[in-house]
Amino acid sequence: MNKNIIKTVSLALIASLGFIMAGCSEAPEQAAEGGFTTVTPGKLTMATNAFFPPYEYYEGEEIVGIDAEIAQAVADKLGLELEIQDVEFDSIITGVQSGMYDIGCAGMTVTEERMQSVNFTTPYATGIQSIIVVEGSDITDLDALIESGCMVGVQTGTTGDLYMTDEVGEDRMDRYNKGNDAVLALLNGVVGAVVIDNQPAQAFVAANEGLTILETPYTVEDYAMCVNKNNEALLDAINEAIAELQADGTIDAIIETYIPSEEA
């Protein structure tokens, strides 16, 4: 792989594989209305990891953010009450697969590996993987990071984890349950860089003096909700809701609230 070329998830591949791959996961209970199924009738149970601003984070005791608002808008379209469960990121897919949660919505990138376990909705946002280093670091780009031999901090189970394991190998990976724990490790000199989505990266850098984000993005990817493979009726209903929310500008407005455009 050319280290300087941005990798982009193929939506065509997602579309072709997401609906045809057979799964062995359990099906949720039948909901009373709507023709689809949910874990708890009348509710849409969403699994997330609420330490990923601005997509999901705590405001007091409430989980807020882009994903929370988009999921709420989808639930409203489906006539369901949204219930958000805060769990470890790497347990979201297994929880959806086993029927514990209806959807996983956590700034989650669509990948071929994940598609073997769950289906994905239409993407609703685009994310960028970025590299955080301390100011004045000798690490100035991806090649320098790979050649440095230093440990790389990531959040367990994220695409940053998947990509960097590929790039530098298991021995140089330092995994954390929360992105801010990886950033703390960087500040303390435990790791030489942190690879994480750009928007959380910006929030972490703004909150911690002495850190910077490398100018060249690492990857560009699409975010979507994951759904149990045995629940295509719910997948179809969510996709219809997302299409309507994209058409009427609701999703763009939600994203703009948290990530204002340059013109704003």
Helices (H) and strands (E) in the chain — how many of each?
A: 10, 15
pLDDT at 264 over 80: no
Dihedral sign (CA 32, 37, 39, 42): negative
Which range among 23-27, 70-74, 122-126 shows the weakest confidence by mean pLDDT? Answer: 23-27
Q: Which CATH superfamily is domain 7-124+224-258 in?
A: Periplasmic binding protein-like II (3.40.190.10)
Residue 47's DSSP bridge partners are: 85, 104
What is the structure's pLDDT at 27?
Answer: 43
pTM (two decimals): 0.69
What is the structure's pLDDT at 32?
Answer: 41
Mean pLDDT of 19-31: 41
What is the structure's pLDDT at 22?
Answer: 36
CATH topology of domain 127-220: D-Maltodextrin-Binding Protein; domain 2 (3.40.190)
Q: Which residues contact 118 (CB under 8 A, 6 or more apart)?
A: 23, 25, 93, 96, 97, 104, 226, 227, 228, 229
Question: 235-263: buried (b, 16+ CB within 10 Å) or exposed (e) per residue?
Answer: bebbbebbeebeeeebbeebbeebeeeee
pLDDT at 52 over 50: yes
pLDDT digits (tens, 9 = 90+) for 91-145: 999 999 999 999 999 999 898 999 999 999 999 998 888 999 999 999 999 999 9
Dihedral sign (CA 107, 5, 195, 115): positive
Domain boundaries, the chain: 7-124+224-258, 127-220
Using alpha carbons only, give the angle 125, 128, 129 rounded to the nearest 5 degrees.
Answer: 135
pLDDT digits (tens, 9 = 90+) for 198-218: 888 998 999 999 999 998 767
User: What is the phi/psi pair of residue 114, to 5°?
Assistant: -65, -30
